[in-house]
Amino acid sequence: MQHDDDILGFTHVTPTASMHVTRHGGRAKCLQRLIRLDMPVPTTVALPFDTVRDIARGQMPQIAAMLSYFGPDALLSVRPSSEDPDWGGPSAILNIGMSETQYEKIVKSAGEETANALYARFIQSYSVHVAHLDADDFDMPKSATRDDVDAALRVYEDEMDEPFPQDIEDQLKAVLRSRAQAWSGTSARLLREAKGAPADAGLGLVVQRMALGVGQGECGSGVIQFANSATGDPQITGRYLSQSQGRDALTEKASAIYLTKDPRGPSFEELCPDQFAELLRFGDLARLRLREEMQIEFTIENGALHILDAVRIGRSSQAAVRIAVALANDDIISKDEAIMRVTPSGLNDVLHRQIDPNAERDLVGVGIAASPGAASGRIVFTSNDAQASAARGEPCVLVRRETSPEDIRGMHVAQAILTVKGGITSHAAVIGRGIGLPCVVGASDLYVSRKKRVLQGADGREFKEGDYITIDGASGHILAGQVPLLEAANDEAVQTLLGWADDVRDIAIRANADTPAEAQMADRFAAEGIGLCRTEHMFFEGDRLTVMREMIFAESEKGRGAVLDRLLPMQRADFEKLFEIMQGKPVCIRLLDPPLHEFLPSDRAGLSALAAALNLPLSDVTARADDLREYNPMLGMRGVRLGIAMPEIYDMQARAIFEATVAAKEKGLVVSPEIMIPLVSAKREVELVKSRMDGVAAAVKAEQNTEFEYSIGVMVETPRAALRAGDIAFNADFLSFGTNDLTQMAYGLSRDDAGRFMSSYVHQGVYPEDPFHTLDTEGVGELLELGAGRARNSRSDIVLSICGEHGGSPSAIDFCRAAGFNYVSCSPFRVPGARLSAAQLVLRDNPEMIIRPPRGKYPMQG
């Protein structure tokens, strides 16, 4: 089939013309839909991508033929029509065709004022945007006079050495050429590529007869939408401005009037009740047939309503959710379509306080976005000061070079955390995400002097203790002062959408939760269990830390045993609480993982205090701390290595788990704990630990004369464990891939040290993405695939999962679905996004599942 395009280089937009978003762009296609709905759209012609490419190369379509569609005296507008409106495009040019001849005609038909306004506006935009002359030279008053027009014409002629073009064909060609060239410029290309456009993205252009909006009778223009952009709730919003064109009603809001009756002043509803009623009908029709909340651009020309354009309304993340759910609830789109219309990151935003997108941002510095959400507070530099601030009822932001377990109390009462050092899994980041506290780490441009109590911004500005700052944990921005925030919302619309997503998705989502508080959060976000409970975090809290330190200083195995006996009831109580909160959902508990020195104070003062507390000479405490110090703690004496060297620690943990299981059973819960062994690199490690765990289980069963089920699995964090998964699987009921450590070891790159160069690395394209944010499917992913395949060969029923930072990301979920994993586990706050992503991936792979609702008499074509 031959299109108009092929012959003429453009298409007259009619209900039956052959038009596609991928050839003519979104705006052109949308206009065709409005025309099909019998809306009063002025005559419109669409230039497809190919034509615009030809124009950029100097080859014009049949302009004379095109003009014949509009009639002799029409003024025209040219608007961009890219495939995705988000990709942007050159500015619109209105009133093409204005010339001395037209001027005279309009003076006669609509008066000199109108003619001056139209001519002045056209000369201005043509000179600046088409001829690229200096905008300052064409600054004209709103009510331009003929003198103003003449002055502008003179400037044009002086600058261009030729008079202002008078022929509409010349004008249109120049406009089209300039639009086409603007699109193919380098900076425009870079800008749209940053928004996800492909390198060869095309631009369409829409040429439309102007409905003037200025002239005799009621003339004007306005914009209307039917839902609130911030909340998504139904609400008629917009403005109308008499004697105006385009989006003037929005840019000159002060003189514009409300659309609906309003006590604050006159309204369009009162001014033009018939046209207003018609607009409402068109709005309903657009929502129903375009299946979207649209913003409609309209013009009143001598009392007659014209619809010039319609675009998806801009919306906050919260509004996106509510609009999608409302459209589905109204049977306008299917639930599956609603799922596809919300981005996981948008959903994530909804669940945290955000900085108001309209707020001004006074940037102090940028760090690594480590825990989402935004908060303002007064700067404090120590955990004690944070507590004091909280006691005074003053919100505070804890600013540290880096945090250690001693800072826990301060972190719990602060509104946000900022550290200058550390990476996405530094202590501050992990705790921040765990307790849902906004956190920015590794802000290496900033300088903190704890002694002087000063935070120095990247630009040298100093902030003193007590000064307000705002932390944006979603972007990593640190802002001066207090900034307006939008509250978090985990409302009915979110719940509804996620319920629909749960019906679709085919992979389970668990949460990483270490404490009862985190487990409650996991439960609130409907995680299907705990995929990773890091028991060490239990030991950093309150009295536990002291007891843990006593164990480290115990002289012998026996001494350690005595201290562990005191830790046992605490651990058991931890697990009892977890089991109770999770109500029989699976809980995967990782045995103690970090090197022992992480439990010791890092500075001299802390060591002194510890020596006093333990009643030991400082030299002994220092010597032991020194002894435990490691060159590369990440690659040191931790995980199962600790478990094998000091088996009584894991024994205690296993006993606590099993005793808690029995206690839960007595409360009527069915609990089958999963015990996970960390940092495995050889099968024998698993054999050794498993046989001791089995022994402890047998002992608890015998002591309490009861039975219970449990499973023992392995956290695959070393490349070797992935490669040897075939051996390891014989002794493991499940394997959970710890993609954080696996990434560190595959790359030979510590997360905590990577901050120093990662952004420049990604910027230079050395790594396409930060592999700690986006699962490296080529390298780390191959280890996962090899490991999963080998494990299944040994044991076909083995349960496979990933846990860690990647767990909640769409790319990792995509990977895990493809590899046939049973579940992913991520931070509680990322669970909703993960549930949504998982559903979207099912729908992406099965587009035939997305069925449009049968309702509606005029389903849209094409």
Choices 495-503, 517-525, 571-579, 626-634 (CB under 8 A): range interacting with a copy of itself: 626-634
Whole-number minimum distance, CB 761 to a copy of itself, in Å?
A: 7
Dihedral sign (CA 167, 170, 172, 178): negative
Q: CA–CA separation, 133 vs 140, rounded Å?
A: 14
**Which residue in the set 140, 767, 794, 811 belongs to the binding site for a copy of itself (CB under 8 A)?**
767
Q: Which stretch binds a copy of itself (CB under 8 A): 218-226, 559-567, 636-644, 824-832?
A: 636-644
Closer residue to a copy of itself, CB minimum distance, 570 or 635: 635
Q: Which of 71, 760, 763, 848 binds a copy of itself (CB under 8 A)?
A: 760
- Nearest CA to 612 out of 169, 604, 2 is that of 604
In DSSP terms, 508 is beta-bridged to 823
User: Which listed residue (718, 739, 837, 840) binds a copy of itself by CB under 8 A?
Assistant: 718
Looking at the DSSP assignment, which residues form a beta bridge with residue 297? 223, 309
The distance of closest approach from Cβ of residue 768 to a copy of itself in the complex, given in angstroms and rounded to an integer, is 8
Question: Catalytic residue numbers?
Answer: 427, 803
Angle at 426 between CA 437 and CA 785, to 5 degrees: 105
Q: Which residue in 151, 682, 699, 850 binds a copy of itself (CB under 8 A)?
A: 682
Q: Is 648 in the site for a copy of itself (CB under 8 A)?
A: no
Q: Applying CB under 8 A, which part among 40-48, 513-521, 566-574, 624-632 lies near a copy of itself?
A: 624-632
The binder of a copy of itself chosen from 613, 645, 670, 851 (CB under 8 A): 645
Question: Does 731 sit near a copy of itself (CB under 8 A)?
Answer: no
Distance CA 315, CA 334 (A): 20
Q: Is 637 near a copy of itself (CB under 8 A)?
A: yes
Binding-site member from 636, 673, 804, 808 for a copy of itself (CB under 8 A): 636
DSSP 262: B
One of 131, 630, 704, 850 touching a copy of itself (CB under 8 A): 630
Least Å from the CB of residue 592 to a copy of itself: 15
DSSP assignment of 284-344: HHHHHHH-S-EEEEEEEETTEEEEEEEEEPP--HHHHHHHHHHHHHTTSS-HHHHHHTS-H
Give the nearest distance from C-beta 433 to a copy of itself in angstroms: 19
In 446-566, the DSSP E strands lie at 447-449, 454-456, 462-464, 468-472, 477-480, 485-486, 508-512, 530-534
Evaluate whether 741 touches 719 at the Cβ level (below 8 Å): no
CA distances from 437 to 41, 371, 652 (A): 51, 7, 31
Q: How far apart are CA 746 and CA 168, in angstroms?
A: 64
Task: Give the nearer residue to a copy of itself in terms of CB position, either 165 or 594.
Answer: 594
Q: How far is CA 792 from CA 343, 615, 819, in A?
A: 33, 53, 11
For the bound state, the minimum distance from the C-beta of residue 630 to a copy of itself, rounded and expressed in Å, comes to 5
Grouping H, G, I as helix, E, B as strand and the rest as coil, residue 797 is: coil
Least distance from a copy of itself to the Cβ atom of residue 763, Å: 11
Distances (CA, A) of 861 to 30, 155, 399: 11, 49, 57
**Is residue 232 part of the contact set for a copy of itself (CB under 8 A)?**
no
What CA–CA distance (Å, rounded) separates 640 from 622? 26
679 is a site residue for a copy of itself (CB under 8 A): yes
Shortest separation between residue 366's beta carbon and a copy of itself, angstroms = 18
Residue selected from 189, 361, 692, 720 as contacting a copy of itself according to rule CB under 8 A: 720
Nearest-5° Cα angle at 606, 604 to 607: 65
The verdict on 633 binding a copy of itself (CB under 8 A) reads: yes
736 contributes a contact to a copy of itself by CB under 8 A:
no
Q: Which of 724, 703, 714 is nearest to 678 (CA)?
A: 714
Return all residues near 458 (Cβ < 8 A) that are at least 6 apart.
364, 365, 366, 445, 446
Q: Which of 253, 281, 461, 684 binds a copy of itself (CB under 8 A)?
A: 684
| Residue 688 binds a copy of itself (CB under 8 A) | yes
How far apart CA 658 and CA 674 sit, in angstroms, is 10
Residue appearing with tokens 């109108």: 114
Number of residues that bind a copy of itself (CB under 8 A): 47
750 near a copy of itself, rule: CB under 8 A? yes
* Least Å from the CB of residue 571 to a copy of itself: 24
Would you count residue 249 as binding a copy of itself (CB under 8 A)? no
Which residue among 64, 141, 555, 631 contacts a copy of itself (CB under 8 A)? Answer: 631
Give yes or no for residue 763 binding a copy of itself (CB under 8 A): no
Q: Which span sits near a copy of itself by CB under 8 A: 434-442, 453-461, 610-618, 772-780?
A: 772-780
Say how far apart CA 700 and CA 711 lie, in whole Å.
15
Q: Does 749 bind a copy of itself (CB under 8 A)?
A: yes
The verdict on 456 binding a copy of itself (CB under 8 A) reads: no
Q: Report the residue from 711, 747, 794, 860 that binds a copy of itself according to the rule CB under 8 A.
A: 747
Pairwise CA distance, residues 585 & 672, whole Å: 9
Residue closer to a copy of itself, measured from CB, 528 or 717: 717
3-state secondary structure of 477: strand
Neighbours of 136 (CB within 10 A): 7
Binding residue (CB under 8 A) for a copy of itself from 187, 632, 705, 796 = 632
Alpha helices in 615-666 (DSSP H): 618-628, 640-645, 647-666
Residue with tokens 């003449």: 150
Site membership for a copy of itself, residue 54 (CB under 8 A): no
Considering the complex, what minimum distance in angstroms separates the CB of residue 69 from a copy of itself? 52
Least spacing, CB of residue 425 vs a copy of itself, in Å = 10
Indicate whether 370 belongs to the interface with a copy of itself (CB under 8 A): no
Contacts of 538 (CB under 8 A, 6+ apart): 514, 515, 544, 570, 571, 574
- Determine which residue in the list 58, 460, 765, 854 makes contact with a copy of itself, applying CB under 8 A: 765
405 binds a copy of itself (CB under 8 A): no
Cβ 493 to a copy of itself, closest distance in Å? 42
Interface positions, 779-808, toward a copy of itself (CB under 8 A): 779-780, 782-783
| Structural contact between residues 359 and 483, judged by C-beta atoms closer than 8 angstroms | yes
Residue 437 binds a copy of itself, judged by CB under 8 A: no
Q: Is 400 helix (H, G, I), strand (E, B) or coil?
A: strand
**CB nearer to a copy of itself: pick between 676 and 745:** 745
Does residue number 58 form part of the binding site for a copy of itself (CB under 8 A)?
Answer: no
Return the DSSP state at 409.
H
730 binds a copy of itself (CB under 8 A): no
> Which range touches a copy of itself (CB under 8 A), out of 238-246, 512-520, 655-663, 755-763?
755-763
The answer to whether 778 contacts a copy of itself (rule: CB under 8 A) is yes
CA-CA distance, 427 to 269, in Å (whole number)? 58
Considering only 388-396, 532-540, 752-760, 817-825, which stretch makes contact with a copy of itself by CB under 8 A?
Answer: 752-760
What helix, strand, coil percent values describe the chain, rounded to 5? Answer: 50, 15, 35
Residues that bind a copy of itself (CB under 8 A): 630-637, 641, 644-645, 679, 681-682, 684-685, 688, 717-720, 723-724, 741, 744-750, 752-753, 756-757, 760-761, 764-767, 776, 778-780, 782-783
